[in-house]
């Protein structure tokens, strides 16, 4: 063995009893921080597009908040991965969430001062909450045994469920709280965001000890080569990106995992980010429209069900990927995404159909990204893992940002059904690529008779 595998052969790693105890504690702390981070990010996901339209005065800017959120995560993923490799996960995660906390404060000021540029700046800062969210799932694998990587990663992803579902449903209560303090309705929900992010920062600062990545770098569970070698974490971002991509290209399964994760994320972000605006437009044209804070509650409920789909069944998908294989779960996720596009697209005039489509969208994203992220982590050499994880998060962010921009244009010109049709075509392309590469990989690794 060369120190890493293709995802089908277990590595020669064994965890001692003390490391097992540390891993359990690490997963618990990361799960708690993810819960709080989900609450913190809920307001931006639920009403960001509405606030952008309100402050800018144009629906053309509806996708701007999602765009800056994802771009911020994309630009900071590699630097924060480098920081993690050099200083540990704790410092990296706390730094991300501290900047996101500042972003929540800026969002409140933007709504109060009716400043669209300030809103964009706040969205950029809050985007680092996504950076922390993505890095946390990989942090769960730092000390995980090969046969439990999918499970441990999925537990941390699952923990986001409570916070992410609660966050959007606090929109109406946040609006009322904002009014109580003399703030605009759409500023109030960010009060909950700020409080939750502050709690997450405190938890990670105090409880993520020992640092899992720094311990893993010294542990006999990994190769004798340290993950903090200059070739793995040094250099400017462009060099790091090229180095990470070169490591991924050495493994067909790693490349497959990366493209499946990117494709699933683009589809999810593009459709999800435009759904609140579509529901608002649907309500405005309905004879029995809800309007005002009531339509915010409807949107919050729909988004919360979507986020529940993203995270609630994460442990199941993690177990399935450990039990039946990463590739099989990725394929299942793509089929769920295809079903989502069909139901939401054909049922665009019915809020119930749209909500069902959102739930399937979340489930498909969950299956594809959990299996894909696990496969990526185990398909490259140990000294390249942190860097390739950063590359994955960077590319997810950039492509999702482009997708959210194009999604706004698609919604404006072709409507919600047209947007879902485009999403379906992307999923079909990933499924075709997955089938072709899986077949080629199977033949390439088949024993010669």
Over residues 185-204, the pLDDT tens digits come to 888 888 888 999 999 999 99
Largest Cα–Cα separation, the chain: 77
Whether the per-residue pLDDT at 436 is higher than 90: the answer is no
pLDDT per position as a tens digit, 217-231:
887 444 554 444 444
pLDDT number for residue 14: 52
The answer to whether 143 and 15 have CB atoms below 8 angstroms apart is yes
- pLDDT, position 48: 79
For residue 446 the two structure tokens come to 């088949």
Of 377, 79, 6, the residue nearest 241 (C-alpha): 79
Q: What is the pLDDT of residues 146-175, one digit of tens each?
A: 788 899 999 998 887 676 667 667 777 777
Q: Identify the DSSP state of 379.
A: S
pLDDT of residue 179: 79
Sign of CA dihedral 321, 335, 426, 349: negative
pLDDT in tens, 371-416: 999 999 888 877 788 889 999 999 988 888 788 788 888 888 898 9
Q: Which CATH number fits domain 17-214+246-443: 1.20.1250.20, 1.10.357.10, 3.30.70.360, 1.10.3660.10?
A: 1.20.1250.20
What whole-number distance in Å separates Cα of residue 270 and Cα of residue 275?
9
The Cα–Cα gap between 137 and 158 comes to 10
Q: Is the peptide bond before 444 cis (omega within 30 degrees of 0)?
A: no
> pLDDT confidence of 448, banded at 50, 70, 90?
very low
Whether the Cβ atoms of residue 426 and residue 264 lie closer than 8 Å to each other: no
Query: By the 8 A CB rule, do 35 and 197 touch?
Result: no
pLDDT, tens only, 21-48: 898 999 999 999 988 887 877 767 667 7
Helix axes 189-207, 89-113, angle to 10 degrees: 160
Are 271 and 420 in contact, with CB atoms under 8 Å apart? yes
- Cα–Cα distance, 30 to 84 (Å, whole number): 15
| Percent of the chain predicted with pLDDT > 70 | 84
pLDDT in tens, 349-359: 887 888 899 99
The C-alpha atoms of residue 366 and residue 333 are separated, in whole angstroms, by 7
Can you spell out the DSSP letters for 3-63? S---SSS--S----HHHHHHHHHHHHHHHHHHHHHHHHHHHHHHHHHHHHHHHHS-GGGTT
Per-chain mean pLDDT for the chain: 82
Distance CA 160, CA 169 (A): 14
Residue 98 pLDDT level (bands cut at 50, 70, 90)? very high
């Amino acid at each position: 063995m060369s120190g890493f595998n293709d995802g089908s052969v277990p590595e020669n790693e064994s965890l001692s009893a003390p490391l097992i105890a540390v891993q359990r504690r690490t997963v618990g702390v990361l799960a708690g921080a993810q819960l709080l981070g989900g609450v913190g990010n809920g307001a931006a996901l639920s009403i960001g597009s509405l606030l952008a339209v309100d402050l800018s005065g144009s629906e053309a800017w509806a996708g701007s908040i999602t765009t800056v959120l994802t771009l911020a995560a994309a630009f900071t993923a590699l630097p924060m991965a480098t920081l993690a490799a050099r200083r540990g996960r704790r410092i990296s995660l706390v730094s991300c969430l501290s900047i996101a906390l500042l972003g929540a404060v800026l969002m409140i000021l933007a709504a109060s001062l009716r400043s669209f540029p300030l809103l964009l700046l706040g969205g950029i800062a809050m985007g680092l909450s996504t950076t922390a969210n993505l890095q946390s799932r990989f942090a769960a694998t730092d000390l995980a045994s090969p046969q439990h990587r999918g499970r441990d990663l999925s537990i941390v992803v699952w923990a986001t469920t409570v916070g992410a579902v609660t966050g959007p449903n606090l929109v109406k209560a946040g609006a009322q709280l904002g009014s109580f303090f003399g703030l605009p309705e759409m500023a109030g929900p960010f009060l909950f965001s700020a409080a939750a992010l502050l709690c997450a920062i405190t938890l990670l600062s105090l409880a993520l000890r020992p640092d899992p990545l720094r311990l893993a770098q010294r542990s006999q569970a990994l190769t004798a080569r340290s993950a903090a070698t200059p070739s793995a974490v040094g250099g400017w971002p462009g060099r790091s990106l090229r180095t990470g991509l070169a490591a991924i290209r050495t493994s067909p399964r790693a490349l497959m995992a990366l493209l499946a994760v990117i494709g699933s994320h683009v589809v999810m972000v593009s459709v999800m980010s435009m759904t609140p605006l579509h529901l608002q437009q649907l309500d405005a044209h309905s004879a029995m429209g809800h309007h005002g804070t009531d339509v915010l509650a409807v949107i919050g409920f729909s988004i919360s069900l979507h986020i529940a789909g993203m995270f609630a069944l994460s442990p199941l998908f993690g177990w399935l990927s450990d039990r039946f294989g990463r590739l099989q779960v990725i394929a299942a996720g793509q089929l769920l995404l295809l079903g989502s596009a069909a139901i939401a697209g054909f049922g665009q005039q019915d809020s119930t159909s749209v909500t069902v489509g959102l739930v399937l969208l979340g489930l498909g994203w969950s299956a594809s990204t959990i299996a894909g992220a696990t496969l990526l982590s185990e398909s490259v050499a140990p000294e390249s893992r942190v860097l390739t994880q950063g590359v994955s998060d960077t590319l997810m962010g950039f492509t999702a940002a482009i997708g959210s921009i194009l999604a706004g244009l698609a919604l404006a010109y072709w409507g919600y059904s047209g947007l879902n049709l485009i999403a379906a075509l992307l999923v079909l392309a990933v499924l075709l690529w997955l089938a072709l590469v899986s077949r080629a990989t199977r033949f390439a690794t088949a024993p010669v008779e």
